[in-house]
């Protein structure tokens, strides 16, 4: 009986230590994740930005509130597109490689047409991106069930659009 108790409590201790180690790794990864911006409190009236990853020594990330790209050369794993139309608070149309594609922001949801605050969310998105060049970062899935691109979207100055819409309360 005594051995069973020791084995039981040893198993509990090992499980807790494993859990703590896993949490530590998740928190370290979260500090470099694009979604970490969402969990970080932002000062009032500032844009949510995410330092863009460095592809070469010529790209600088700048301060947390500004990450200008010195040129329009896409970084590894990223593409530059032109926003040609804003459809709603979380969906846009982009011109990418000569093709117009629908794109849905990853990780956010805004009110749909006819729901309260839908027009405000759409207008906020329009003010942020319409007619601008944006940097697209894909994740695990490239498209959703409606065949829309799924991306994290940044302005060329480093503003993380997905997080900015959440920060401002539109998504």
Report pLDDT digits (tens) over 5-14.
Answer: 677 777 776 7
Burial group, residue 163, by CB count within 10 angstroms (0-12, 13-18, 19+): buried
Residue 69's nearest CA partner among 82, 85, 80 is 80
| Contact in structure between 37 and 50 (CB atoms under 8 Å) | yes
Which residue is catalytic, options 44, 72, 102, 112? 112
Quick check: 95 pLDDT over 50?
Answer: yes
The pLDDT value given to residue 18? 67
For residue range 38-62, what is the model confidence (pLDDT) as tens digits?
444 444 444 455 554 433 333 333 3
The reported pLDDT for the residue numbered 73 is: 58
Higher confidence at residue 35 or residue 76?
76
The one catalytic residue among 104, 137, 164, 167: 104
Active-site residue, 104 included:
yes
Clarify whether 167 is annotated catalytic: no
Element (H, E) at 99: strand 99-105
Q: Which of 93, 137, 148, 167 is catalytic?
A: 148
């Amino acid at each position: 009986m005594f051995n069973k108790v020791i084995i039981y409590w040893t198993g509990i201790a090992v499980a807790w230590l494993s859990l703590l180690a896993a949490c530590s790794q998740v928190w370290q990864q979260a500090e470099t994740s694009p979604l970490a911006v969402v969990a970080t409190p932002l000062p009032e009236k500032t844009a949510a930005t995410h330092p863009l990853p460095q592809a070469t020594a010529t790209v600088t990330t700048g301060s947390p509130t500004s990450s200008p790209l010195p040129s329009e050369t896409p970084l590894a794993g990223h593409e530059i597109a032109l926003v040609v139309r804003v459809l709603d608070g979380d969906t846009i149309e982009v011109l990418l490689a000569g093709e117009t594609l629908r794109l849905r922001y990853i990780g956010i949801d805004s009110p749909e047409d006819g729901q309260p605050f839908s027009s405000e969310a759409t207008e906020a998105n329009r003010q942020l991106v319409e007619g601008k060049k944006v940097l697209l970062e894909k994740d695990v899935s490239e498209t959703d069930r409606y065949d829309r691109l799924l991306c994290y979207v940044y302005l060329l100055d480093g503003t993380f659009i997905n997080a900015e819409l959440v920060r401002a309360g539109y998504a």
